[in-house]
A = this chain, B = another copy of it.
Amino acid sequence: MTITITAFERSPDGGQGLARDTRVRWALEEVGQPYEVRLVSFTAMKEPAHLALHPFGQIPTFEEGDLALFETGAIVFHIAQRHAGLLPDDANARARAITWMFAALSTVEPPILELGSARFLESDKSWSAQRMPLVKDRVRDRLTQLSARLGDADWLDGPFSAGDLMMVSVLLRLKASGLLDEYPNLSAYVARGEARPAYKRAFEAQLAVNKPPAG
């Protein structure tokens, strides 16, 4: 059965790999599953056909036979459960890897999303400059804790897992802010993720969609 995912017709980040389809592409590359991509415009994302697939009008979605999923975390988890390579076999280790997926999305990413809102949606507001340090400190609180837990390990809990895939993807959003540079072990952790061949293939594939035509 063919796997089809959706991605932005034109990603707001111009191909930096921060759109969430990169996370799903990365997971599919790690487990060696081919996939097709259907590109969706900003207009089409808010229309009934796409809303039927994704109630929040976002990308990515995932279709395989009669299964249709939305929500990046759920899609990556589904891929990790169906194919070897992203979750350990041992039941306890598997539960811990899944824990890191949830931690990335519901504990580490929310303050990073808030920083994104402050930078991109509130930069023209009167409070923007004064409020920014406060927002950054909320991100630092999480990074300090994550850095302490990671220590000098390569990955969060044993071998690379879907938990690391998600955590690295979340941290990549901080690159432009410079915050990651304050935590050398987290910077190195993200670099290890980016160096994986599967990540590189995923990154190139999303870039090919967003690269301005040559010439």
Q: Which residues of A contact B (CB under 8 A)?
A: 51, 55-58, 66-67, 69-75, 77-78, 92, 95-96, 98-99, 101-103, 105-107, 109-110, 113-114, 117, 121-122, 125-127, 130-131, 134, 138, 142, 145-146, 148-149
Contacts and interface: CB of A to CB of B under 8 A. Distances in A.
Given A69-B95, A74-B99, 16 more contacts: A51-B145, A51-B149, A56-B146, A67-B92, A71-B107, A74-B103, A75-B99, A77-B98, A77-B102, A105-B105, A106-B109, A114-B114, A122-B131, A125-B131, A126-B127, A126-B130
Contact of A56 (B69, B121, B142): B142
Interface of A is mostly: helix
A125 B127 contact: yes
Number of identical protomers: 2
Given A127-B130, A134-B122, A73 B55 contact: no
Contacts of A130: 126-127
B74 A95 contact: yes
Contacts of A56: 103, 107, 142, 145-146
Contacts of A57: 145
A101 B134 CA distance: 30
A36 B96 CA distance: 21
Contact of A70 (B74, B99, B109): B99
Closest 5 pairs between A and B when the two form their complex, measured CB to CB: A127-B127, A55-B149, A74-B99, A73-B102, A105-B106
